[in-house]
């Protein structure tokens, strides 16, 4: 199905992926009513985790920002699957949480989270503006540098 959001993704040069199956006992999304809750997504591809490691030690802030954008693309892919391919049914990106694998004292989590936030606004326009938390953590699954989870309102 091709709609306005698919056209916008093409214009931006963004190719959505087929999300890999979960590696544990969870599902990628849960829809209840007009809400879709997206499980945490890490930046990975067929070769594994992209930009693995701790920010400021193993990964630069710039690389982690790109990783957050990649994880955000996975979030959009999961929402598209939950909506049977129709991203035009997204009425709002409500809340985004970005977890950053960083050492004690690191304080640029919000800069890294902008990788995902800027993506959502670029793709969904004003409907992509959202509440957000950017949180530093001591580790993430698969040694990912970032993980992004989100809540969407849909029709």
On the question of pLDDT at 80 being above 70, the answer is: yes
Q: CA 58 to CA 64: how far, in whole Å? A: 10
Q: What percent of the chain has pLDDT over 90?
A: 92
Instruction: Give the burial string for 118-128 (b: 16+ CB within 10 Å, else e).
Output: ebbbbbbeebb
Q: CA 55 to CA 37: how far, in whole Å? A: 26
pLDDT tier at 21, thresholds 50, 70, 90: confident
Beta bridge partner(s), residue 60: none
- Domains of the chain with CATH codes: 29-154 (3.30.1330.40)
Q: Which of 132, 127, 13, 15 is nearest to 80 (CA)?
A: 15
Q: Express each pLDDT in 41-56 by its tens digit.
A: 999 988 999 999 999 9
- Threshold 0.85, pTM exceeds: yes
Which tokens hold the place of 112?
A: 């890294």
On the question of pLDDT at 7 being above 90, the answer is: yes
Q: CA 133 to CA 122: how far, in whole Å? A: 19
Helices (H) and strands (E) in the chain, counts: 3, 7
Q: Express each pLDDT in 56-70 by its tens digit.
A: 999 999 999 999 999
Q: Count CB atoms within 10 A of the CB of residue 12.
A: 11
On the question of pLDDT at 1 being above 60, the answer is: no
Secondary structure in 3-state letters for 53-116: CCECCCECHHHHHHHHHHHHHHHHHHHHHHCCCCHHHEEEEEEEEEEEECCCCCCCHHHHHHHH
């Amino acid at each position: 199905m091709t709609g306005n959001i698919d056209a916008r993704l093409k214009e931006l040069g963004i190719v959505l992926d087929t999300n890999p199956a979960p590696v544990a006992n969870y599902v990628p999304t849960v829809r209840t009513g007009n809400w879709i809750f997206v499980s945490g997504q890490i930046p990975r591809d067929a070769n594994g985790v992209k930009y693995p490691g701790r920010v400021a030690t193993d990964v630069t802030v710039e690389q982690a920002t790109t990783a957050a954008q990649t994880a955000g693309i996975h979030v959009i892919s999961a929402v598209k699957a939950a909506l049977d391919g129709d991203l035009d049914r997204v009425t709002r990106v409500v809340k985004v949480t970005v977890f950053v694998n960083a050492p004690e004292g690191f304080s640029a989590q919000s800069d890294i989270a902008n990788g995902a936030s800027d993506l959502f606004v670029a793709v969904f326009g004003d409907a992509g503006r959202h509440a957000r938390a950017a949180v530093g953590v001591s580790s993430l699954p698969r040694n990912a540098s970032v993980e992004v989870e989100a809540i969407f309102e849909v029709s």
